[in-house]
Amino acid sequence: MNNTSFGVAEELSSLKDKSYISSFDLTFDQMHGLFDLALQLKKGNRRIDLGNRILGVIFKKASTRTRVSFQVAMARLGGQIVDLNIQTTQISRGEPIKDTARVLSRYCDALAIRTYKHKELIDYANWSSIPVINALTDLEHPCQSLADFFTIQEFYGDLKGLSLAYIGDGNNVANSLIITGAILGVNINISTPKGFEPDNSILKKASSIANISGSSIDINNDPYESVKGVNAIYTDVWSSMGQEEEAGERKSAFEGFTIDNELLSRADKEAIILHCLPAHRGEEISDNVFEGESSRIFDQAENRLHVQQALLAALLGGV
Ligand code: CP
Ligand code: NVA
C-alpha cells in the first residue's frame, strides 16, 4: 500500500489493542503511519485526547528518556501514568507475572515494561488483556528504533535508498535497528568487534525481510568499511545495563570502534550522527563528534516523545 493519508489512517486503526513487543510487530505502512502522526503531533497540527486513560509502567532498569517521554506523552493525550515501583509493589517479592499481568489489566489501559529477559515481557503480554509495550529488554529496544528512523526521515525527507552504519556492540539497540531498517528498506551496515555481533536469529529473520524490501544488511568487523558513504552513523554504549561487570574487558575489546572525526570523514558529507543515549564520551563516541554539527542526537531524544505519543494513540484506539 502507498503511504497515502487514507492508507495510514487504516493502518493505524489496525493497531488498536495490539502490543508492541518487538520491532517485527509493525509493518512498513504501520511504521509510516506512526511517523506521519508523530509529525502532525510534533508540529501541533493534531490533538488527540484519549480521555483519562492509564499507562502502567514497570522499570526494572534505570531510564530517563523512556520513562519521561512516556509520562509526558500520556499527559499530552489526556491520560496518566501509574508508576509500578518494583520495590514497593509485590513484583520484587516474586508474585508470578501471570497474576500481576491479570491484575494490572483490571486497573490500567496499557503497560510499558523495561526488563532484562525478553521472555518476561512476552509472558506479560500473553497474560495481559491490555496492550503491552517494550520499553527495552536485553534483546530489543523497539520504541527507540522508531524514533531513530523518524529522525532520519525528518532530516532527509524520505528513507528510500538511505544507508545507516551502526558501530559498536551488537546489542538490543542494534537488533531493533536491523529489524526496523529491513522493514523500512534502509540499508544497514553493522560493525562490531568479533564476538559482539547482533542476535543471529534476528539477523536471519531480518535478512529475509530485507530481501523483500530491497535493502541490505551487512555485518563486519571493520568500522571504516561500514561507514563508507553512509547517510547516518549510530552508536551506543559498549556495556549495556546488566553488563557493568564486563565494562573493563569490553573497553579493551572495543578499541578502534569509537566514532570520531576520522571515522566520520569516511561517511557521506551530509551524514548525521545518532546515539540513543546515555553516552560515554571518549568511549563509543568522541566529545567533538557528539557535540559537532552533524549530531542530531537531541532531536532523536526529543522524537521519542512524538513517536511514542503516536504509538500510544494507535494502541489505545485514539486514531
Ligand atoms: N535511550 C533510552 O532508552 O534512554 P533511557 O535509558 O534514559 O530511557
Ligand atoms: N544498550 C543500552 C541502551 C540504553 C538505552 C542498554 O541496554 O543499556
- Residues 72-82 have a mean pLDDT of 98
The number of the ligand nearest the C-alpha atom of 143 reads 1
Between 83 and 2, the more confident residue is 83
Q: What is the pLDDT of residue 68?
A: 98
Provide the whole-model pTM: 0.96
pLDDT over 70 (residue 5): no
C-alpha to C-alpha distances, 155 to 27, 95, 212, 316, nearest whole angstrom: 22, 46, 25, 29
C-alpha to C-alpha distances, 50 to 54, 145, 181, 316, nearest whole angstrom: 10, 25, 30, 8
Q: What is the pLDDT of residue 11?
A: 85
Q: What is the pLDDT of residue 244?
A: 97
**pLDDT tens digits, 141-169:** 999 999 999 999 999 999 999 999 999 99
The number of the ligand nearest the C-alpha atom of 276 reads 1
* CATH superfamily placement of domain 144-300: Aspartate/ornithine carbamoyltransferase (3.40.50.1370)
Q: Where in the chain is the domain with CATH 3.40.50.1370?
A: 6-140+303-315, 144-300
Q: What is the pLDDT of residue 10?
A: 80
**pLDDT tens digits, 246-256:** 999 999 999 99
- Residues 200-207 have a mean pLDDT of 98
pLDDT over 90 (residue 3): no
- The confidence band for 8, taking pLDDT boundaries of 50, 70 and 90, is low
Q: What is the pLDDT of residue 9?
A: 73
Q: Which atom of ligand 1 is nearest to the CA of 141?
A: 3
**pLDDT tens digits, 94-125:** 999 999 999 999 999 999 999 999 999 999 99
Query: Among residues of the chain, what percentage have pLDDT more than 90?
Result: 97
Instruction: For ligand 1, pick from 58, 63, 235 the residue to mutate: most ligand atoms within 8 Å of CB.
Output: 63
Instruction: Return mean pLDDT, the chain.
Output: 96
Instruction: For ligand 1, pick from 276, 303, 307 the residue to mutate: most ligand atoms within 8 Å of CB.
Output: 276
Q: What is the pLDDT of residue 61?
A: 98
Rounded distance from Cα 5 to ligand 1 centre (Å):
31
Rounded distance from Cα 98 to ligand 2 centre (Å):
26
- Strand runs (DSSP E) across 210-266, as ranges? 217-220, 232-235
Longest dimension (CA), the chain: 55
**pLDDT tens digits, 176-192:** 999 999 999 999 999 99
Give residue 243's identity as a one-letter amino acid code: Q
What residues contact residue 33 under an 8 Å CB cut-off, 6+ apart?
7, 8, 9, 11, 12, 314
Instruction: State how beta strands 187-191 and 163-167 pair.
Output: parallel
- Residues 131-150 have a mean pLDDT of 98
Q: What topology is assigned to 6-140+303-315 in CATH?
A: Rossmann fold (3.40.50)
Q: Which three cell numbers stand for residue 155?
A: 532530516
Rounded distance from Cα 240 to ligand 2 centre (Å):
5
Cell 549495556 appears where? 240
